[in-house]
Chain A
Amino acid sequence: MLMRNAATDRGTADLMGAMQGSASIRASLEQVSARISKFEERYGFDSDEMRQRVGTGSLREDDSICTWLMLLSRRDRLVQRQG
């Protein structure tokens, strides 16, 4: 919803409710994993190697790599959620 609508009493309550609701973790995980796989195919190395290369400075964290890293953070969080 628009941020301005979200800031109302009703909007805030709806958002809090939605966050506590049963998020489809499994579907999100599948979607995120598929996006990560596309990055790995495109670059020709896996996510661990990407993190290593960024860590050593041999790979520049450009827009794409930033998105890839954020997807990995999201996947880690989803896995944590899934328990």
Chain B
Amino acid sequence: MSNGKASAHGPARLQSYLNASIANIDRFVNMGFVDCNRLRAEAVDGDLLIAGHLCCQGEIVVEVEKLLENQGDGLVQTLFYRYQVGVQGGSPILRYDNSHGPGPEFAKDDPVRQRSEWHHKHELEWFDYLNPVSPDHLAVPNYDIQWPHLSDVLEEVHDWYMRFAEHLPAPEQYADPARCGWSRFAYCTDPPSWELGAL
């Protein structure tokens, strides 16, 4: 994960933002790591939701849920995000999110903690595939990690795959989009209407 990208997360033109995101994902498609991009963009509650799954080699699924605020004049900016990564059928690997949001009651007596946990990473049970940790593990507060780009997460997941592929049950197989669930999504229902019939 690269640091020091705060300025890269300012308001962006919607079309530029979408094109950049697609180009970043396509890079991993062209590498053969991502099999299909199932992300959708939809207006939800007056904001823009980008949500769905990236099905990767090793049966890895990257679940993406991002809410972007409409700032007018064609500009959008990320408000909330969750990138959840795991091997299909089990084996959670990591999650980046800022799900605590700006709630003033959260850790109100500890502004440093409040700030640091706005953006955070969870290294989940199978983050170190050969030495799985207790499920009680572990959020990693990221004082200096800014909003992670999806491409940063994909880079990290690809590195993870290169380290542990030989130990995975089906290292060459891609995750099955038909088995990707929606129960963890907060901004769309299960299944979202806009997913139906999509290829």
Contacts and interface: CB of A to CB of B under 8 A. Distances in A.
A55 B194 contact: no
Given A3-B37, A16-B70, A66-B99, A9 B15 contact: yes
A64 B95 CA distance: 12
Contacts of A20: 46, 70
Interface stretch (B154-162, B163-171, B184-192): B184-192
B43 A18 contact: yes
> Which of B42, B43, B113 gathers most chain A CB within 10 Å?
B43
Interface residues of A, number: 41
Given A3-B39, A7-B19, A51 B184 contact: no
Interface of A: 1-4, 6-7, 9, 11-12, 15-16, 18-21, 23, 25, 28, 31-32, 35, 48, 51, 54-55, 60-63, 66-67, 69-74, 76-78, 81
Contacts of B103: 51, 72-73, 76
A45 to B, nearest CB: 15
A11 B40 CA distance: 12
Contacts of A66: 82, 84, 95, 97, 99, 184
A72 B101 contact: yes
A74 B45 contact: yes
Contacts of B139: 61
B14 interface: yes
Nearest to B110: A55
Contact of A71 (B106, B186, B198): B186
Given A3-B21, A7-B18, A19-B46, A73 B39 contact: no
Contacts of B74: 12, 16
Contact of A19 (B19, B21, B48, B106): B48
Given A9-B15, A12-B14, A61-B99, A1 B122 contact: no
A3 B37 CA distance: 9
26 contacts: A1-B194, A2-B39, A3-B37, A3-B39, A3-B41, A3-B50, A6-B18, A7-B19, A12-B14, A16-B14, A16-B74, A18-B43, A21-B46, A23-B43, A23-B46, A51-B100, A51-B106, A54-B100, A61-B122, A63-B95, A66-B97, A67-B186, A69-B99, A70-B101, A73-B101, A74-B67
A7 to B, nearest CB: 4
B112 interface: no
